[in-house]
Structure 1
Amino acid sequence: MPRSKEIQEQMRTKVIEIYQSGKGYKAISKALGLQRTTVRAIIHKWQKHGTVVNLPRSGRPTKITPRVQRQLFREATKDPRTTSKELQASLASIKVSVHDSTIRKRLGKNGLHGRFPRRKPLLSKKNIMARLNFAKKHLNDCQDFWENTLWTDETKVELLEGACPHYIWRKSNTAFQKKNIIPTVKYGGGSVMVWGCFAASGPGRLAVIDGTMNSTVYQKILKENVRPSVRQLKLKQSWVLQQDNDPKHTSKSTSEWLKKNISMIAKTFGKIPCGPTRQKLNFLESACPVTSGVKVTQHFRKRTSYQQ
């Protein structure tokens, strides 16, 4: 049976107006040229919902029932690395056929969204407790203490972007425009190790590490960069040097060098302990202004040295 033509809203409103004037179904049908069943349906809808406009339609029933939805949520929560394709296969095993995009949308409505996992050091329970104790120990330190702490560390900087995936905004059919691609080179673009520091007032000096770093190289970097950074950042004489427990930082020769040289710069020299077993606190990885100055992107071949 062919679908009947929808009555315009203006006509439905006129039906109600005539009905409110006291006319019956037959009189309204004859006056407006409508079938009596159509007039009755319009009036019944108005009496029930108080309107003659089209109500939201339910559409096709969803294939994902509340029970299936709970199963999806349970599997995705149990193993966050489960892909939507794997969830799709899991539903297929119970004879529920849905597109993987439908699964992603349904999980999104329940608060589960696809995200790149954060990278964090693999820590033992002992080191987790050491970090927690470190945080508790300094929880009530005054603001002046933190503002006069010089944070130092080393980090690796990729010479070509692409080591860390990220999104871009582009229009359709512009995927291969120069601004929308990440250039790659054979055998990788290389990387460079840098030492850097920063305080609450901003980033300090940045030093490129040539070759293998040992205690002697580390002490040379401190000698050339700590004093200028302290002056640049305008730290008070009671400033504190922070470093992690890398063996090069805690070796006997480095400890003696720090006591002898740093105490000449600062009125009071101190070091914030970071916990046992070479606990790594790489603040430079999140201190973008510190390392952004040495990132090389599309002009790598024009550079003649890492320092450039």
Structure 2
Amino acid sequence: MLVKSLAVLCVITMSLGASVKSDISEIEALITKKVTDILKEERSKESERTETILKEIKALKELNTRMEERIEFLEQENADMDLIICFLNNQTNGLLEKLTDDNKARNDSLINPIEFLYQKCKDIKNEDFVNYHNTMRRKRQIVPTQAATIPNIAFSAYLSSTNSHMSPGQAIKYDRVHLNDGAGYNSYTGAFTAPISGTYLFMFQFDSRVHTFVRLNVDGRNVVDAVTNPHVNTQDRENMSGNSAIIHVGVGQSVLVEVYDVSGEVASSDKYRLSTFCGTLLYPEIHH
């Protein structure tokens, strides 16, 4: 593109020199200005391409982090299931050994093992297995099917200082925590990670003195938006906005509030706690 533009410039310059006998200094000034404009345009395009690539890299890194957290949870769940399978295998082997011993003692014909195990499952309540299974469920924080109460999962936080010139995609880190039942909210990242699957209520508010777009998202998926458009030609330069949503969130998924589209500002302080974020579990997902 640069070579093509310079070639066109040379043709124009030669034509100009041949037709009007322009002064050499004027021609040099024209060439210098044109070259400067072309280089500036190329640098601007390159800068835009670089910025786009950096945004894509950042988004991929964030997605990779969330996927790693999800994989870690699934690996833990898989390990728990392996333990349960191992426990059941041990119980089955124990029952088969008992069947063999009983047959030898009575010198009876071999009883069908499948029928024997089926009858044992009907007749025997294995308290060890029930206790073990409940322990695994609590470890994975899965609510029992007939849960009598809703787990205590709720958080509330506010921003203690103003964040100016926030870039698109930057999370708002509400750093002062009022409440964090269930330990799902992280004040260092600004994200709430669901300890269990269920239906949650989230609300956020923010104050700003500039045009700012803010949204609530789950694992990078936009849920609801809010925007501030400050007053002009008045002393009241600030504006507040916010939104709320009731949504289903899976275990391990992250919910956060972030600035998007344009650079913005989120204003708050310890004295004037104008920017807040909170959420609570309304009811858990029931596993049958």
TM over 0.5: no
TM-score, structure 2 length as denominator?
A: 0.21
Between the two structures, name the one with larger relative contact order (CA 8 Å, sep ≥ 6). Answer: 2
* Structure with a larger share of its residues in strand: 2
